Amino acid sequence: MMYFMFVMMIGLILGLMGVASNPSPYYAALGLVVAAGVGCGLLVGYGGSFMSLVLFLIYLGGMLVVFAYTAALAAEPYPETWGDWSVLVYIIFYLVGLVMVGKYCMVEELDLYWTGVEEMSDLDMVRGDFWGVALLYSDGGYMLVLSGWVLLLVLFVVLELTRGLSWGALRVV
């Protein structure tokens, strides 16, 4: 199980690098799908089944629709790929930064380790992510409404940036 989770962490890092170094909206959407899927798998592996469901529904249900519309509006006849030199420079930069952070954590012997929700205390009768559900809808209700408004604002910003008629910042008509 530990090796499986390690491979999923590598997949999460590669997916996030795919989103960060996106040469085209098509590849950013692919990197987002990979990162969200692997992130959900990691959360399920560590006992957070409800939070992984929320992540999966928000990212792949809401944000992927925005990526589909923006990819349709900002279509390029010859999009750059991850193999182009301009994109490879960013990927190499991210990999070097990741190795440096990893070396720092190994040299400083920081106590950074992963424990699942179920491993924190032995005598609990309620699963850990059920507490998260209760907090999300009771005390965290204001943050839930705020995050909904932020997602709506992001939708309008993305649609404004990709609007045609030579007004959009990402499209040349």
In a domain, 153, yes or no: no
Report how many domains make up the chain. 1
Residue 55 placed within a domain? yes
pLDDT digits (tens, 9 = 90+) for 30-64: 788 888 889 888 888 877 777 778 777 777 777 77
> Residue 173: pLDDT band by 50, 70, 90 thresholds?
very low
Domain region containing 50 = 2-125
Whether residue 164 lies inside any domain: the answer is no
Answer whether residue 61 is part of any domain.
yes
- Crossing angle of helices 85-107 and 2-20, in 10° steps, is 140
pLDDT at 140 over 50: yes
Neighbour count for residue 25 (Cβ, 10 Å): 21
Q: Within a 10 A sphere around the Cβ of 143, how many other Cβ atoms?
A: 11
- The verdict on residue 139 lying in a domain is no
In a domain, 104, yes or no: yes
Q: What burial letters (b/e) apply to 104-127, b meaning 16+ CB within 10 Å?
A: eeeeeeeeeeeeebeeeeeeeeee
Within a domain: residue 114?
yes
Residues in the chain: 173
